[in-house]
Amino acid sequence: MFCYKQLFIPKLTLRDFNVQVGEALANMKVINKVIRFDMPVRQQTHSDGK
């Protein structure tokens, strides 16, 4: 849970700008993956109308 909460802290830990960009992109990728896991899968059901 600690690692999950660390993703939402807006502070970057590395000093070099190029590395900070990579760190931010990696955080966004992980957050998007977590959000994708949480989304329900929709399946269309067939209704005959009877």
Q: Specify the pLDDT at position 38.
A: 73
Which is nearest to 12 in space by CA: 23, 26, 28? 23
Q: Specify the pLDDT at position 4.
A: 62
Contact 3, 26 (CB under 8 A): no
Per-residue pLDDT tens over the stretch 1-50? 566 666 667 777 778 889 888 888 888 888 888 888 777 777 777 766 55
Q: Specify the pLDDT at position 3.
A: 67
Contact 23, 7 (CB under 8 A): no
